[in-house]
Amino acid sequence: MQRNATAAVIGAGDYIGAAIASRFAAEGYQVFAGRRTADKLGALKSEIESAGGRCEARGLDARKEDDITQFLAEADAAAPLEVCIFNVGANVNVPILDTTERVFRKVWEMGCYAGFLTGREAARLMLPHGRGTILFTGATASVRGGIGYAAFAAAKFGLRAVAQSMARELGPKNIHVAHLVIDAGVDTAFVRERIKARGGEAALKNLLPDTLMNPLSIANAYWMLHSQTRDAWTFELDLRPYGETW
Amino acid sequence: MQRNATAAVIGAGDYIGAAIASRFAAEGYQVFAGRRTADKLGALKSEIESAGGRCEARGLDARKEDDITQFLAEADAAAPLEVCIFNVGANVNVPILDTTERVFRKVWEMGCYAGFLTGREAARLMLPHGRGTILFTGATASVRGGIGYAAFAAAKFGLRAVAQSMARELGPKNIHVAHLVIDAGVDTAFVRERIKARGGEAALKNLLPDTLMNPLSIANAYWMLHSQTRDAWTFELDLRPYGETW
Amino acid sequence: MQRNATAAVIGAGDYIGAAIASRFAAEGYQVFAGRRTADKLGALKSEIESAGGRCEARGLDARKEDDITQFLAEADAAAPLEVCIFNVGANVNVPILDTTERVFRKVWEMGCYAGFLTGREAARLMLPHGRGTILFTGATASVRGGIGYAAFAAAKFGLRAVAQSMARELGPKNIHVAHLVIDAGVDTAFVRERIKARGGEAALKNLLPDTLMNPLSIANAYWMLHSQTRDAWTFELDLRPYGETW
Amino acid sequence: MQRNATAAVIGAGDYIGAAIASRFAAEGYQVFAGRRTADKLGALKSEIESAGGRCEARGLDARKEDDITQFLAEADAAAPLEVCIFNVGANVNVPILDTTERVFRKVWEMGCYAGFLTGREAARLMLPHGRGTILFTGATASVRGGIGYAAFAAAKFGLRAVAQSMARELGPKNIHVAHLVIDAGVDTAFVRERIKARGGEAALKNLLPDTLMNPLSIANAYWMLHSQTRDAWTFELDLRPYGETW
């Protein structure tokens, strides 16, 4: 079933973003996938299309207002923008004295400022349609400022504030804004490398099943939030594997 | 499709509890529905059965350890207990000086102590099966102690603590424990009466669509939580209508 | 300087409670110190009196409404009750399956129910005076339900709910209600024994200075809260040593 | 009593900042007061000096790394920097669609980025001394993203994250980092004007005593935090008038 509606994913580059894009494509949405380098979206586009879905891949710098505005406008021109997902991250851990102003600013621009631009522009396009869903990807650092996370947590706390403020303002206008706190490692090549670097080949081999999050499972949570009827919307939920210590 | 598994709902009396019971019955679970007066479960049982489902109705006092133990043991004897939902509430609003020790204790026994008994006994039965889902119904008062809510919030905060503690201990043992913060009025005869009492017939007539929560929508959230794969479990989510001020 | 006012401490038995009692006695309040066994208050009473202060020691069961009512009434009869501190705890850590209903109930009766009775009765006596301060001792378990803490956290979350609800209702009536989250070990014989049991004599000897909280430092925080002018009251603050991991 | 130590206040311009500067000057600290326009600090400097205190007034742009670095270095050169207070705000309320990228960025630069720079540079100077106190001024918007507050709350949430992260990293190094949530209106000409604009002359005249916060009372809370012994430090406390609804 094809829907006459678009779903935009900003930050479609990593595992989560790609899984979300595929999930919404599988539900009939025309997906607009954006990330820094368009070339890197080729595999995702092929995968979606070979499964019978529709995907437009675009390169964009999420920290540039014009890029965001144009990307979302293009999506909305193709078909009404119904879903917008902000999934740009910039997880860094640096001792406070070594956190340069450049890093602090860049992490914020990617993790918070870009999210604000995305949310605001999505809302601008959705309000005339009278409906829409805007979802923000959060992390442990959205609710806890741990050691070394001054930059990352400042961005993630800030993004959560944007999401809360938008949810309260836009909910009554039938725009569902939600925030997902992803509180553990996702099963990516990067995370597996890190486990190996820390604990050796054995650590990787002994990894218990389902102790890393499958991007597909996360994508299902985004889909579920979008599927909620408006009489019972969720603003925030957390996600972690069964074995996680928290 | 019938499953060889039971879903127990303690506090199946009100709208939410009944909707949850129906939802799980529709998914093939043999439902054990418990509330104070078994007679009042007749309609629910009939409704489930006429839809092709299975429902056992039992009267029980959730504040009595033996009642809880026996009810859940009976469910588990019929087929492995896979889902257990605690949905007993006791919403009261009383100025602090007028809150008798009897009210404070009773509200706690119903809202917190009974939840502890339910969760613990469900866990005891589920652990040998190596799996299970335990869901607790929370409210605004689970996270905010408003004026007049000393008794109710003390019970609800306490229930949330039980849920958190159980989630952390039982998650690694493959038992999914979650807590739902229901942050608004559910569409029940009682709530409609209250709206009428406050604002007259007009207030009721002018009620915008979907501004009260449909019990079915809430039941869907319980089902969704139970459906999550264990690599990405949610501990807590909130639910409220799109038009709600929060 | 002697004040014509009483300060009541319920749970004056442990190190914190005794330090608070001494602190308020040193500020000129006639202190009413209550704990389960009056005999054990002898040292505290002597210490306060030899420092020139006033202290009445009473045995009471904080879980009995009559005991609380009578204790506070007696204090208020001696001189207007201006400060009331609830400091009864019952820290236990038990796996969920081993948490008996008896333990769950008792921990709640001591940690939450007794706090409600204390707060309510103190408010009843203070309202006619048009002023007063009611302070509740919280813990890490007031805001986090850790593994094994179902009983303790349920009580402590509940006590925090009571405090919040009372603060919101009584603030405008000039009663200052506050809650202190004591997020680490206090320097007591019991805690030192535990450190020794875990890490041996060496662990105790190597303990860095100021890594356990001095009861006097905690008592200072209670005094500070009571000293706040009503245009800038604090409801909640946390306390932990500088070296604590949190 | 004069201390051989400096206290720096960044954002000394408003009522709170000035009161804090005066409070620490009265305790014997040589105060370095910074705000955008040095000229506007004349009254504060005179007031402090005529009370026998010491105050250096400096113009600075808190969003410029060099300005912050130089300001704090100068303070530390005069005498060891012992206290640093970040009190720059930028409270704005704008509907999400009207929040320009310029406003969002500027509010963040003033409210969060400048705070990060301040905290980091203060820590850099204090660590060699082996001690120090860094205090951040928060607001309701530090913990709640209300309607129209996307920009302000994003900055304030972010500042709180910086404070948390720094507190956890620097606490064990004997630097006390704390965050104050000022949850109501302070008694300033601006706030009184706003009350008058909304409710007329009568609203201002009928204002109950102590329902606006006296800057001096707030300054006392900063002093109290600095005075805490390191075995019992507070990270966060809230402040509001007794009559406030929260």
Minimal CA separation from B223 to chain A, in Å: 11
State the smallest CA–CA distance between residue C212 and chain D in angstroms: 6
Tell me C186's DSSP state.
Answer: B
Cα angle for residues D134, D49, D216 (degrees, 5° grid)? 50
Whether A35 has a pLDDT exceeding 90, the answer reads yes
pLDDT at C189: 86
Give the chain B residue nearest C149 (alpha carbons): B165
**CB D210 to CB C217 under 8 A?**
no
D157 closest CB neighbour out of A124, A157, A167: A157
CA distance to B93, B139, C118, C144, C232, per residue, from B145 (Å): 11, 11, 17, 16, 20
Q: How many CB atoms are located within 10 Å of the residue C22 CB?
A: 23
- Per-residue pLDDT reduced to its tens digit, D187-220: 988 889 989 999 999 999 999 999 999 999 999 9
Average pLDDT, chain A: 96
How many Å apart are CA A186 and CA C63, to the nearest integer?
A: 48
- pLDDT cut 70: percent of chain B above it: 100
What pLDDT does A190 receive? 84
Looking at residue C188, its pLDDT comes to 86
Cα distance between the two ends of chain A = 40
Residues B86/B118, Cβ–Cβ less than 8 Å: yes
pLDDT value of position C234: 98
Report which of residues C163 and B188 the model is more confident about. C163
**What is the token pair recorded at D142?**
């530090």
Helix ranges, B33-98 (H): 42-50, 65-78
The residue-averaged pLDDT of C100-125 equals 98
Q: How many residues does chain D have?
A: 246
The interface pTM score, or ipTM, of the predicted complex is: 0.97
What is the pLDDT at residue C13? 79
pLDDT category of residue B189 using cuts at 50, 70 and 90: confident
Banded pLDDT at A18 (limits 50, 70, 90): very high
pLDDT the model gives residue C181 = 98
Q: Do D242 and C230 touch (CB under 8 A)?
A: yes
The helix (run of H) or strand (run of E) holding residue C6 is: strand C6-10
Chains touching C by CB (3 or more pairs below 8 Å): B, D
Interface test with C, best of D127, D229, D242 (most C CBs within 10 A): D242
What confidence tens digit (pLDDT) does each residue in D12-54 have? 977 899 999 999 999 999 999 999 998 999 999 999 999 999 9
Taking CA A139 as the corner, what is the angle to CA A138 and CA A141, rounded to the nearest 5 degrees?
115
Residues of C in contact with D242 (CB under 8 A): 171-172, 174, 176, 230-231, 233
Partner residue opposite A150 with nearest CB, options D144, D149, D162: D162
Does position D235 have pLDDT exceeding 80, yes or no?
yes
Give contacts of C154 with chain B, Cβ < 8 Å: 112, 116, 158-159, 161-162, 165
Q: Average of pLDDT values for A227-243?
A: 98
Interface size between B and C, measured as CB pairs under 8 A: 142
- Report chain A residues touching chain B, CB-CB < 8 A: 168, 171-172, 174, 176, 187, 210-214, 217-218, 220-221, 224, 228-246
Beta strands (DSSP E) in A68-131 are 81-86
Percent of chain A with pLDDT over 70: 100
Contact A233 B242 (CB under 8 A): yes
Residue A14 pLDDT exceeds 80: no
* pLDDT the model gives residue A131: 98
| Residue in chain C lying closest to B68 (CA) | C101
Reported as a single tens digit per residue, the pLDDT across B156-167 is: 999 999 999 999
Region of A93 please: left (phi>0), alpha (psi -120 to 50) or beta.
beta
Q: How confident is the model over C132-152, as a mean pLDDT?
A: 98
Q: Looking at the complex, report in whole angstroms how far the Cα of residue A161 sits from the nearest Cα belonging to chain D.
A: 5
N-term to C-term CA, chain D: 40
pLDDT over 80 at B66, yes or no: yes
Residue in D104, D146, D168 nearest the CB of A113: D104
Strands C132-139 and C175-182: parallel
- Give residue B113's pLDDT: 98
Would the pLDDT of C235 be above 80? yes
Q: What is the pLDDT of residue A188?
A: 86
Provide the shortest C-alpha distance from residue A203 to chain B (in Å). Answer: 18
pLDDT value at position A175?
98
A242 closest CB neighbour out of B171, B213, B245? B171
Give DSSP secondary structure letters for A162-218: HHHHHHHHHGGGTEEEEEEEE-S-BS-HHHHHHHHHHHHHHHHHTPPTTSSB-HHHH
Report the pLDDT value the prediction gives residue B210, as an integer from 0 to 100: 95
Report d(CA D36, CA D59) in Å as an integer: 5
- Comparing alpha-carbon positions, the chain B residue that sits nearest to C155 is B158
**Spatial separation of the C-alpha atoms in residues D226 and D132, rounded to whole Å:** 9
3-state secondary structure (DSSP) of residue D177: strand
